Structure 1
Amino acid sequence: MLHRLAAERATGAFTRAGGTLFLVDGQIVHAESPAATGLEVLLTRGSVLSQARWDAALSRWGREGSVAHNLVARGHVPLGLLELCQRTALYDAAFFVLAPSGRLGRFRREVRDWLGAGVGVAPAAVESETARRLALLDRIWPDARIDVLPPASAVGAGRPPTVTDRQLRILQLADGTRTATDIARELGRPAFHTLVELRRLAAGGLVVPAGSGRMEEHVAEAVREGEQSAAVPPADGFAKPDVALLRRLMDALEAL
């Protein structure tokens, strides 16, 4: 659908489970996802723009979709910096919007975003970058649970010798309650960059998905029960399926 919309030079909002891409004349000009670090955080956490000024700009110019233009025109944010943060936020959110989910998207024509960014990106370029990022994460550590389950530190007090300054701050926030998104927003960093560091920490055995051990125990227990049940077939020689056991096993696997 996204390729067709680009070919049609369509304008509107393309929404999937992970968020929304806003198109103008077939180009992606803005993206939003609850899992990503938004433009607001990138601008306000870096002391570039105060939260009060951001809120005022959104309230005053959000309805007409000219927040970006007015922030620059009034000297609140340099044009180059705004474009850099806007592009960073776009790719960050698009990663979650375009990630494989098995669900189709829907398109609402002529729906405009509140930002009003001037320069868009070709959907093919955004899709290619998303695929590159997915492949990078899998090369680092092929276990996506750390992306969605709150990471927990697997080391004691002190700084492991192999940890960088960037990783150390993430490790300090990995308390088993904050998700990767929470950590990224608290640090004012793109969510994808935080996922990269978390996967590196997981590959080094320094963080684990909170609760993953318990879920793996449930799966192992279900498998053991299945092996015990299959060891004693009924008189007709064919083991009858244990429906309740199969359901428990399926639930445990889906939780992983």
Structure 2
Amino acid sequence: MLHRLVAERATGVLLREHGTLYLCDGEVVHAESPRTPGLDVLLTTGGALDTEAWREAVTLAGARRRVGRYLVDSGRVAEGALELCHTGALFDAAYFVLGPSGAPARFRYGAAHWLGPVRSVPVAALERETVRRRALLHRIWSDPATDSAPLIRTDRHAEPTVSARQGAVLDRVDGVRTASDIARALGRPAFHTLVDLRRLAAAGLVTTAPHPPTTTPGSPLPDPLPQRPHPHLSPLP
């Protein structure tokens, strides 16, 4: 579908299971995924922009689809910094959007993102980078479960030395957070967090949290509290 959209220089939004790609004249201009921090998180956490300035830009320029241009013209963000951060967020989200999916893709012609034009990326370059990233992760640690499952720290008496960057990731492994949660908490690209977590898994420091026990057929269900019948309903036999 992407190659056909490129050939016809389509403009609109491609909707997939793990996010969306916005195209303009057959090139990708924006990408979003629930598994990655958004551009706002990367800008505000990194200190390039404060939260109030971001909200102001969305309020004043969102309806005109000129948020990016407003940030630059008003002096809130330097144009080079915005392009760099936007391109990083685009590749980050596209990695998940272009990943394996069990749901069909849809394309909505004519749709445009409220951020407005910043910098476009050819689909071929996006595909190459996605394949490269997938191969890199596989070389580090071949089990992809650490990419999406809640994570726990392993019990080790003598932990190997980790970098400051990996240490910040490790400090947020609590049995509940996933890689995406940790990336948002740190304000870092999700793919970089996946790399750190797979290296930590390869070093034996991190593993996936065990699944909660499930009730087997025929086993009694727990009933910690007595259930009172609703006053307007007859009790079931």
Q: TM-score range by the shorter chain?
A: 0.7 to 0.9
Residue by residue, what CA displacement relative to the aligned partner does 1:153-194 show, whole Å, maximum 9, x if unpaired? 11469x933311101111110001111111101111000000
Q: Take 1:32 and 1:23, find their aligned partners in 2: how far apart are those partners?
A: 12
**How far apart, in 2, do the equivalents of 1:98 and 1:59 lie?**
31
Matched, 1:189 2:188: yes
Instruction: State the identity as a percent.
Output: 53
Query: In 1, distance between residues paired with 2:195 and 2:94?
Result: 16
Runs of 4+ deviating beyond 4 Å: none
- Residues 82/155 of structure 1: CA separation in 2 closer, same or farther (3 Å cut): farther
Tell me what 2:127 maps to: 127
In structure 2, C-alpha distance between the alignment counterparts of 1:46 and 1:169, rounded to whole Å: 15
1:35-184 matches, within 5 Å, as 35-155=35-155, 160-184=159-183
Q: TM (normalized to structure 2)?
A: 0.87
What is the root-mean-square deviation of aligned Cα atoms in Å? 1.9
Rounded to whole Å, the distance in 2 between the matches of 1:48 and 1:122 is 26
Aligned position for 2:209:
210
Q: Deviations over 1:49-98 (max 9, x none)?
A: 11011011112211211000010001000000000000000000000000
Give the aligned residue type for 1:110: G
Is there any run of 5+ residues in structure 2 with no aligned partner, and where? 218-237
Assess if the C-alpha contact under 8 Å between 2:154 and 2:205 holds in 1: yes
Please list every run of 5 or more consecutive structure 1 residues that lacks an aligned counterpart in the other structure. Answer: 223-243, 245-256
Contact 2:44 2:51 in 1 (8 A): yes
Alignment length (residue pairs): 216
**1:27 matched to 2:27:** yes
SS across alignment from 1:118: coil
Secondary structure of 2:22's match?
strand
Deviations 1:111-144 (A, max 9, x none): 0001112321111110111111111111111111
